[in-house]
Amino acid sequence: MAPVVEPLRVAPVVAPVVEPLRVAPVVAPVVEPLRVAPVVAPVVEPLRVAPVVAPMVVVIWFDLIFLRIVEYFCNSKNMLCKIVTDLEIYRLALKASIDISNDVKKISHFWTNEDASQILRSSSSVPSNIAEGFCQRFYPKQMVHYLFIALGSSDETQNHLSALHAKNYISDIQFHTFFRQYKNISIKILNFINHLKQKHQIVL
């Protein structure tokens, strides 16, 4: 009797359980929107133009006419000149001031400091104030003001000369020479002042 052969028992093939691949979800980064500062146009104020006023035009016209008149007199004989050295009174005052200064240097060792300083100050003040007044020649009233100061300094110098002569600090010749010079300067300054006052109708 043939042996009973049991059929081959093959274990069933069980497919392994494969877990699905877990892929982390791709989360897009949160990108904040670009913040752009708003462009604000600058506030431009409208150009303010002063209205043209008729009286202003009249004033400007009058000033221009006045300057032309002054320039005319500046170029006229016996009136204001282009430079201060053209003025006769300035040249006379400057020369007299230099002459006194030179004499003071020679003989001032006999004088007191006060006597020397007073006459030097007053004599140099005459051409200085004439020059300062010349700078105001387009304003005749201002020029007359400085000419009056120069006139006062000229008269003051005459007084110092008289005092020095009385003290025998200067000779008779020196006294009469300088005194005549400053007397002449004072007369010319006063005539010039009166001329300007009359021409420009200056009321002081």
DSSP secondary structure letter of residue 77 = T
Class of domain 84-200: mainly alpha
DSSP classification of residue 169 = S
The pair of structure tokens assigned to 83 is 């430079």
The length of the chain, given as a count of residues: 204
Cβ proximity of 150 and 126 under 8 Å: yes
Can you state the angle between helices 88-107 and 140-166, rounded to 10 degrees?
Answer: 30
User: End-to-end distance of the chain based on CA atoms, in angstroms?
Assistant: 173
Q: What are the b/e assignments for 142-181, b being 16+ CB within 10 Å?
A: ebbbbbbbbbbbbbbbbebbeebbeeebbeeebbeebbeb
Q: pLDDT tens for the chain, 204 residues: list them.
A: 566 666 666 666 666 666 666 766 666 666 676 676 666 666 666 666 555 545 544 444 544 564 455 455 444 444 546 788 999 999 999 999 999 999 877 776 655 678 888 999 999 999 999 999 999 888 899 999 999 999 999 999 999 999 989 988 888 999 999 999 999 999 999 999 999 999 888 887
- Report the C-alpha gap between 195 and 168 in whole angstroms: 39
